[in-house]
Amino acid sequence: MAFLMAGAMAFTTSSSVQEEANLVTGYIFQNQQCKSTSMDCNELPGAQCTYLGLDVYRYQDAGGTSCSVPLSHRK
């Protein structure tokens, strides 16, 4: 029984660390500009990540006028 619990705890810890590593700071498109946010999201399957009611994206273009790659909420 102890081995089973130890194995389950190791998996849970590993999964949590993996998920934290997948977090990225996103960008929102606001006032015709792609702006950095303080919201950390991920690219795992799930609901669209939002900040202040706006979709959050992974990248912005060089000019800051376009955002791409939608992010999801962390789980």
- The string of pLDDT tens digits covering residues 29-46 is 988 888 989 888 988 888
Residue 39 lies in a domain: yes
The whole model's pTM is what? Answer: 0.65
Residue 42 lies in a domain: yes
Count of domains forming the chain: 1
Residue 13 lies in a domain: no
Residue 51 lies in a domain: yes
Residue 58 lies in a domain: yes
pLDDT exceeds 90 at position 59: no
Residue 31 lies in a domain: yes
Question: Could you tell me the residue range of the domain that residue 47 belongs to?
Answer: 24-75
pLDDT exceeds 70 at position 20: no
Alpha-carbon distance of 75 to 66, in angstroms, equals 27
Residue 17 lies in a domain: no
Residue 10 lies in a domain: no
